[in-house]
Structure 1
Amino acid sequence: MNWYLLYTASRAEKLVEQRLKAEGVETYLPLHLSPRRWSDRVALVELPLFSSYIFVRTTDEILRGLVRVNGVLRIIFYNARPAIIKPTEIDSIKLFIEKAKGKICTFGLNDEVQIACGPLKNIDGTVTKVGKEYIILQIAQIGIFVSVKLNQVVKIER
């Protein structure tokens, strides 16, 4: 038996996991806590680490039949074969989830951060303002201020 990856309908990962378990299939859906804001409150919600993906441990023959499960859109392939996920990779994801559990990254004024994606990837900046979804960074290297989404920056630990 190997670990495989299934692509699910948008926001259906938890339901698909329940349906697969009901069929007797071993699944792994890595979840993390993320703050969500409503008009009257902020709550921590469990969200999938990888949107629209779920790991399954099964045989190749059973895997092919899982596309009939409601919410499963397709099997992820690599080189014209179902992609096999190494058990060490699954263990690494579990270790990451365990280490990150309960930790929330917050940004404060004058924190040093690095932009993790986009056209300014790997550029360092200093936080000058923190908003609900964006922060304003001063990029000293090129003398500008930029607005970046909170989930696109990483705090630099020195």
Structure 2
Amino acid sequence: MKWYVVYTKPKWEKRAAEQLTKFNINCYCPVIKKTQQRSDRKIKVEVPLFSHYIFVQLLEKDRNLVFNSPGVVRYLFWLGKHAIVKDHEIETIKEWLSTEETSKEISVLQYQIGDKIHLNSGPFCDQNAVVKDITKTHYVLILESLGYILKVKHKE
């Protein structure tokens, strides 16, 4: 079975994943803990790693079952076809989120805009990227093979 990427309504990622799980669809919504400021205090909340996106694993003939959840909008397409995520990429995300090292920073100070680089650590280890932008606090990398734009904080 293949992993597909499903686009959800805003703030529906976790609810849609729960509903799809009730329909016996293998679903994955990666979440991270984030500190949010309330009017009188700071609290830690779990938020989806990818806004509007969840991953579902099902047979191609069963793809329409995801629309049983009111939070699902559509499938994500890449180059005119349904976007498919490889098993090892899902496992990499799960491993990365399960380690304490998820807060590690990556430094690419020696690179210039337009440079092609190979990532040798972190959640996107062994991926090739192009440096798109360099700001005072972050680097913006394009992961062409995955179709992602990655924002990485400077190492201090």
Could you say which TM-score interval applies, normalised by the shorter chain? 0.5 to 0.7
- In structure 1, what is the equivalent of residue 38 of structure 2? 38
What amino acid does structure 2 have at the position aligned with 1:121? D
Residue 7 of structure 2 aligns to a residue whose secondary structure is strand
Q: RMSD of aligned C-alpha atoms?
A: 2.8
Displacement, 1:65? 3.0
Moved more, 84-93 or 46-55: 84-93
- In structure 2, what is the equivalent of residue 12 of structure 1? 12
Q: Does structure 2 retain, via aligned residues, the 8 Å contact 1:32–1:101?
A: no
Correspondence list, 1:6-85, <5 A: 6-85=6-85
Cα distance in 1 for residues equivalent to 2:86 and 2:31? 19
Percent identical residues:
31
- In structure 1, what is the equivalent of residue 117 of structure 2? none
Flag the 1:101–1:113 CA change in 2: closer, same or farther, 3 A: closer
Q: Does structure 1 retain, via aligned residues, the 8 Å contact 2:96–2:102?
A: no
Q: Does structure 2 retain, via aligned residues, the 8 Å contact 1:4–1:84?
A: yes
- In structure 1, what is the equivalent of residue 134 of structure 2? 122
- Which segments of 5 or more consecutive residues in structure 2 lack a partner in the other structure? 110-131, 138-150
Displacement, 1:113? 10
Displacement, 1:69? 1.9
Displacement, 1:154? 1.4
TM-score, normalised by the number of residues in structure 1: 0.65
Cα distance in 1 for residues equivalent to 2:155 and 2:108? 5
Cα distance in 2 for residues equivalent to 1:27 and 1:11? 16
Displacement, 1:155? 3.5
Displacement, 1:124? 5.1
In the alignment, structure 1 residue 155 sits paired with structure 2 residue 154: yes
Cα distance in 2 for residues equivalent to 1:79 and 1:121? 24
Residue 70 of structure 2 aligns to a residue whose secondary structure is coil
TM-score, normalised by the number of residues in structure 2: 0.66
Flag the 1:41–1:122 CA change in 2: closer, same or farther, 3 A: same
Q: Does structure 2 retain, via aligned residues, the 8 Å contact 1:13–1:54?
A: yes
In the alignment, structure 1 residue 87 sits paired with structure 2 residue 87: yes
- Which segments of 5 or more consecutive residues in structure 1 lack a partner in the other structure? 106-111, 115-119, 126-151
Displacement, 1:96? 1.8
What amino acid does structure 2 have at the position aligned with 1:31? V
Q: Does structure 2 retain, via aligned residues, the 8 Å contact 1:8–1:54?
A: yes
- Would you identify which runs of 4 or more consecutive aligned residues in structure 1 move more than 3 Å? 100-105
Asked which structure has the greater CA Rg, the reply is: 1
